[in-house]
Chains A and B, each alone.
Chain A
Amino acid sequence: MIQLCSNDDPPVSFTVPRKAVELSKTIKTMLEDLEGFDMEQTPIPLPNVDAPTLELIVKWVEQHQDDPPPVEKPRVEDDDSDDSDADDDQEPEVVIPEWDKKFLPTDDEQKNQLFKLLNAANYLEIKPLLDIGCKYVADKISGQTVEWVRDYLNMENDYTPEEEAKLKEEIAWAEGL
């Protein structure tokens, strides 16, 4: 069992099976680097994660600890390495499982919690959780107006009216807006 500590004062700690915690690439790498030390006795502090978020993370990794590991493929993100048969085509479609649908903090007042969870999943490198979280947000945005997206994400319009008019012209090709 591994202990994880939140960034609260005082820290809140959670005890998680090693197998589950290794879904986080960040922690897995750390544990591998520290092979030989008795990690069961050493709590791991997570400076970017607060207690409610860590609780969610722990819940998720425990639920998914027995999932088959995702097939790792070398990712080619930069544009210049132009291998035409890159894996993007075979990239599996992300489907949010039923359990995860209930698990994700999806109520509007829990929006902050959702973003904190995404941030933590990113920091801890839990790719499947990151995928379903981002997919959820993307699904939420799809089909909405610009104003709706601004409102949902609590964002300010920082364009001048002139800039906005120009942008509208620029995007006229994508019909149905």
Chain B
Amino acid sequence: MAAEILLYDLPDELIVHTFRFLDYQWLTVCRMVEKRFRNLADSEMLWKRLTRLDYKADQILWDCWTYRDFYSQVLHRFRYLPGWWLRNSEIIGGLLQITVEKDGINCYDCIPAVDGRFYANESHLGNVRILRQNESANGNDYCVRLNSPDVGNYYKLRKRRLFTISYLGRRLRMYCHQSDLAIQDGIFHRTCKMCTQTSNHDCELICPIRGQRFIEKLENGGFRFSCQDQEAHESMDEKYWLEVEHGFRVLSDRALTSLMSYLMVSEMYYFRSIKFKCLRDAASFTAIPYKLSGLSTAALPDDVLLPRAGLYNGTYSVHGLELIECYFDMVHDELAFVGRKVTGDQNVPARELTFTAYVNRRLLLNEDDIASPNNLSLAVQAHEDSDFAVNDIASFRNQPFFGDHPWHWDCSGMTLDRCCGRYMSEGQIADSGFSLPAFSPQVLAVHSDKCFTLSWIELGCVSVFFRCDTQPHCDSL
């Protein structure tokens, strides 16, 4: 054996093994070194591995692509896109999820669960009969419910596809979805074939960097997306609105007219049509990276059950359901469970605090205390005077909750008799347009690690929060 030995003299398998420890950048450098290295560095096995490690895309469903081409021309090019983003629409806000899927890189708008509250026990809305999906509609004046009025639905996070960067057929093409409620929705899944309003159209590709980028990257790390065909978006109509906001499909034009005339007289129409306008404006929006902040669970007391941090569907009376991110944080040196709006409304917009519950201000209440908002107010005052000290921890962890109560209950079809802990909280309220914002006393009651309620003492109503079944991937969760 020669005394001199170079890396070059080593067998291919050894060089490839060395290359396994290189990332895409230095693998590319090795390609440039010389020809044998290029062939070895182009090994599909290496690029398949990088595809998996860097993008968790582990199935080759794009037959016409090699892993190396797919990595360099698709994944790397759009590398900053996959993940979670906050929608930068000022009042309504929202959350986007972008994932690498088999047909393309898809962007989904996450929308709260459908609010079944108004319709749960009504088989008629105005003079239109509402059917369940499995009932057959023989006449014309019908709507079909797309989800049964089930409390379980409140734990769902719905997703609506916004745009796709498609790479089928080795051709990169981008298009947006005017309406695509059915995909990965969880609630509508079984009916997706019946969804009629879907139409896709090409959208403008904004290409500021070397003419290559489809989507513009913003200074703050976000991106902006816009569609050429604004008209198509504006034509999204009432049928679509009913489907997105109310969760049922109208089966005839007559039913539509009749329903709209019924809904338009209610205050609900005003608030929710604003929300809908924002969905329509999806053709043009900006987004910034999303990451849930907050403390790790290690900082929490271990003698009580607390809700888990994460994304919640919260009931906000006439505003319907909203997405709230909840996390633990220190507020003025005090451990608090904080709720911040991901989607907002006319009064308190997205990105604002909605509540701050103080984990060390405990409340132990009896049946009388919760009989009325007035009693509750007095009971809270008494606890405040004694510095929120609760000695009987067993009773604290098993307290009565409203049975047949005088409160405005936001969640029909659900009864909560007990709760396993109550905490003093403050909720943010404001007039329309976020004018005169103020904090109002609340009581937070924990029902499980995935469900809690907030009783707004001054407003005399109760909001219920359900932890979404899909959670953004965040370190602190």
Q: Which partner residue on chain A sits nearest B71 by CB separation? A: A173
Q: A88-B53, A173-B73 are in contact. Are A141 and B17 (CB under 8 A)?
A: no
Q: Which partner residue on chain A sits nearest B59 by CB separation? A: A84
Q: Is B474 interfacial (CB-CB < 8 Å)?
A: no
Q: Is A30 interfacial (CB-CB < 8 Å)?
A: no
Q: A115-B6, A153-B6 are in contact. Are A48 and B77 (CB under 8 A)?
A: no
Least CB distance from A122 to B in Å reads 5
Name the interface size band of chain B.
35 or more
Q: A146-B33, A171-B32 are in contact. Are A79 and B45 (CB under 8 A)?
A: yes
User: Which chain B positions have C-beta within 8 A of A98?
Assistant: none
User: Which chain A positions have C-beta within 8 A of B226?
Assistant: none
> Is B30 in contact with A155, judged by CB distance below 8 angstroms?
no
Q: Is A1 interfacial (CB-CB < 8 Å)?
A: no
Q: Is B29 interfacial (CB-CB < 8 Å)?
A: yes
Contact partner, B34, options A115, A145, A158, Cβ 8 Å: A158
Q: A48-B1, A84-B58, A155-B34 are in contact. Are A177 and B17 (CB under 8 A)?
A: no
Q: Is A70 interfacial (CB-CB < 8 Å)?
A: no
> Is A115 in contact with B9, judged by CB distance below 8 angstroms?
yes
> Is B26 in contact with A141, judged by CB distance below 8 angstroms?
yes
Q: Is A167 interfacial (CB-CB < 8 Å)?
A: yes
Q: Is A157 interfacial (CB-CB < 8 Å)?
A: yes
User: Which chain A positions have C-beta within 8 A of B4?
Assistant: 112
> Is A177 in contact with B53, judged by CB distance below 8 angstroms?
no
Least CB distance from A91 to B in Å reads 8
Give Cα distance in the complex from A154 to B7, angstroms.
8
Q: A104-144: contact bitstring with B at CB < 8 Å (1 yes, 0 no)?
A: 00000000100110110010000000110011011101111
Chain B, 31-82, CB within 8 A of any chain A CB: 31-35, 37-38, 44-45, 48-49, 52-53, 56, 58-60, 67, 72-73, 76-77
Contact partner, A173, options B44, B53, B72, Cβ 8 Å: B72
User: Which chain B positions have C-beta within 8 A of A145?
Assistant: 29
Q: Which partner residue on chain A sits nearest B6 by CB separation? A: A154
User: Which chain B positions have C-beta within 8 A of A32?
Assistant: none
Give Cα distance in the complex from A88 to B18, angstroms.
16
User: Which chain A positions have C-beta within 8 A of B239?
Assistant: none
Least CB distance from B82 to A in Å reads 16
Contact partner, B28, options A88, A118, A155, A174, Cβ 8 Å: A174
> Is B1 in contact with A142, judged by CB distance below 8 angstroms?
no
> Is A79 in contact with B48, judged by CB distance below 8 angstroms?
yes
> Is A146 in contact with B32, judged by CB distance below 8 angstroms?
yes
Q: Is A156 interfacial (CB-CB < 8 Å)?
A: yes
Chain B, 323-377, CB within 8 A of any chain A CB: none
Give Cα distance in the complex from A141 to B15, angstroms.
12
Q: B423-454: contact bitstring with A at CB < 8 Å (1 yes, 0 no)?
A: 00000000000000000000000000000000
Q: A82-B60, A176-B25 are in contact. Are A130 and B17 (CB under 8 A)?
A: yes
- Name the residue in B10, B17, B49, B67 with the highest tally of chain A Cβ atoms < 10 Å from its Cβ: B17
Q: A79-B48, A174-B76 are in contact. Are A118 and B21 (CB under 8 A)?
A: no
Give Cα distance in the complex from A131 to B17, angstroms.
8
> Is A134 in contact with B25, judged by CB distance below 8 angstroms?
no
Q: Is A77 interfacial (CB-CB < 8 Å)?
A: yes
> Is B24 in contact with A174, judged by CB distance below 8 angstroms?
yes
Q: Is B22 interfacial (CB-CB < 8 Å)?
A: yes
> Is B33 in contact with A149, judged by CB distance below 8 angstroms?
yes
> Is A138 in contact with B33, judged by CB distance below 8 angstroms?
no
Give Cα distance in the complex from A165 to B160, angstroms.
45
Q: A112-B5, A119-B10, A134-B14 are in contact. Are A156 and B34 (CB under 8 A)?
A: yes
Q: A112-B5, A142-B23 are in contact. Are A150 and B33 (CB under 8 A)?
A: yes
> Is B53 in contact with A149, judged by CB distance below 8 angstroms?
no
User: Which chain A positions have C-beta within 8 A of B18?
Assistant: 134, 137-138
Q: Is B316 interfacial (CB-CB < 8 Å)?
A: no
Least CB distance from B41 to A in Å reads 10
User: Which chain B positions have C-beta within 8 A of A134?
Assistant: 14, 17-18, 20-21
Nearest 10 interchain pairs by C-beta = A138-B21, A134-B18, A174-B28, A146-B32, A171-B28, A153-B7, A142-B26, A173-B72, A135-B21, A84-B59
Name B residues whose Cβ lies closer than 8 Å to a Cβ of A.
1, 3-11, 13-14, 17-26, 28-35, 37-38, 44-45, 48-49, 52-53, 56, 58-60, 67, 72-73, 76-77
Instruction: Provide 13 A-B residue pairs closer than 8 Å at the C-beta atoms, listed in order of the A residue.
Output: A7-B1, A116-B5, A118-B14, A119-B14, A130-B17, A134-B14, A142-B26, A149-B33, A156-B34, A157-B33, A158-B35, A159-B34, A177-B25
Beyond the given pairs A89-B58, A130-B14, A155-B37, 16 more chain A to chain B contacts, judged by CB atoms under 8 angstroms and listed by A's residue number, are A7-B1, A50-B1, A79-B45, A115-B7, A116-B5, A122-B11, A134-B20, A137-B18, A141-B30, A146-B29, A153-B7, A157-B34, A158-B34, A168-B32, A174-B28, A174-B76
Name A residues whose Cβ lies closer than 8 Å to a Cβ of B.
7, 48, 50, 77-79, 82, 84-86, 88-89, 94, 112, 115-116, 118-119, 122, 130-131, 134-135, 137-139, 141-146, 149-150, 153-159, 164, 167-168, 171, 173-174, 176-177
